A and B are shown apart, each in its own frame.
Chain A
């Protein structure tokens, strides 16, 4: 197996490009895909101060690594979610990555700074863990970006993430979500600009980037995301990809090219009335004088005694068993 660029020995095959690459030219291909995404969607300027949302996983560490390599001024923000050993380990990977490269990393702890954690918030809300987790992270990334004077927040969402979300939105024909599934959310109403430079690269490519670059990251899956609907969508899309390489990129990138313009009028009619939260001042979609969803979550969760990850996982597994048995009847 030979590298498409230099004809030296290849270390990875990429059927979607009908090509194999050596380490050097694989990294070059990844950089070019990121530069193209940044350029085509006007994501980041060289003078921007960038805040990277880092989790200790492959995607966020890889995007931080790439942006620094490409000459951007990128700092990191890690949120300690309190998901037991998983959170402790992912924090260690993140801190090690930053200190080895002399990069600036800010850590916000849900438990220490806000008095709750994700397992407890999951118990209090009675919803899936990813719901309280996503909402907490979005709020705190926005806040850190605004408070720190950053021009743009970068997240490590890759092609597989975006294709899976698109698949879910299309399965439900959720037209408003489809219209808002963009790789760039402009800064408006007090929210910072948010961008996804990895939309042209797959998870496998991001994991390969980390292996080649010697980046240690948390390989284990978040214990609270077990059985998550999006993982099922990714597995389904990967079955299609195996049979027909390039399916995921033509699905998602084709959506950006051909469907997003069709949906533009719907995107423009989205919620425009935003008022500041009366507790924290963050922009919220509620009426004048309302409290934002994050402050409501903090208030309820901090008042509850801490709940362990194991308890939530046990409950989730027994709920799934009941559902599976009910569906057999």
Chain B
């Protein structure tokens, strides 16, 4: 599957199927600070992602006060 990461924006290719939780763990990205989006829709942690999916993992932490 194609995974789009942000800050900075980049794309990586992941082989095979994965559950959302497993993918985040594999990439070392905490669930509390990321959302997983497929076709403009949020995907919950137990959803299985298909090898042909294009997904965005969006960080949600912002800084600056």
Query: Is A166 close to B, CB under 8 A?
Result: no
Looking at A139-147, A224-232, A255-263, A316-324, the stretch in contact with chain B turns out to be A224-232
Tell me the residues in window 105-164 of chain A with beta carbons closer than 8 Å to chain B beta carbons.
129-130, 133-134, 160-161
Pick the residue among B41, B46, B58, B63 that contacts A219 (CB under 8 A).
Answer: B58
Query: Is B27 close to A, CB under 8 A?
Result: no
Query: Is A309 close to B, CB under 8 A?
Result: no
Secondary structure type dominating chain B contacts: loop
Pick the residue among B40, B45, B63 that contacts A222 (CB under 8 A).
Answer: B63
Q: Give the shortest distance, in Å, between A73 (CB) and chain B (any CB).
A: 27
* B interface, size bucket: 20 to 34
Point out the residues of chain B lying under 8 angstroms from A225, CB to CB: 62-64
Q: Are A204 and B63 in contact (CB under 8 A)?
A: no
Point out the residues of chain A lying under 8 angstroms from B15, CB to CB: none
Q: Are B63 and A221 in contact (CB under 8 A)?
A: yes
Point out the residues of chain B lying under 8 angstroms from A211, CB to CB: 35, 37, 40-42, 58
In the bound complex, CA of A231 to CA of B9 (Å): 19
Point out the residues of chain A lying under 8 angstroms from B31, CB to CB: 242
- Please list the residues of chain B having a beta carbon within 8 angstroms of any beta carbon in chain A: 6-9, 30-35, 37, 40-47, 58-65
Can you list 27 A-B pairs with a CB-CB distance of less than 8 A?
Answer: A12-B42, A13-B44, A58-B62, A134-B64, A165-B65, A204-B60, A208-B35, A211-B37, A211-B40, A212-B42, A219-B7, A219-B58, A219-B59, A220-B9, A221-B7, A221-B63, A222-B62, A222-B64, A225-B63, A230-B63, A230-B64, A234-B33, A234-B61, A238-B30, A238-B32, A238-B61, A242-B31
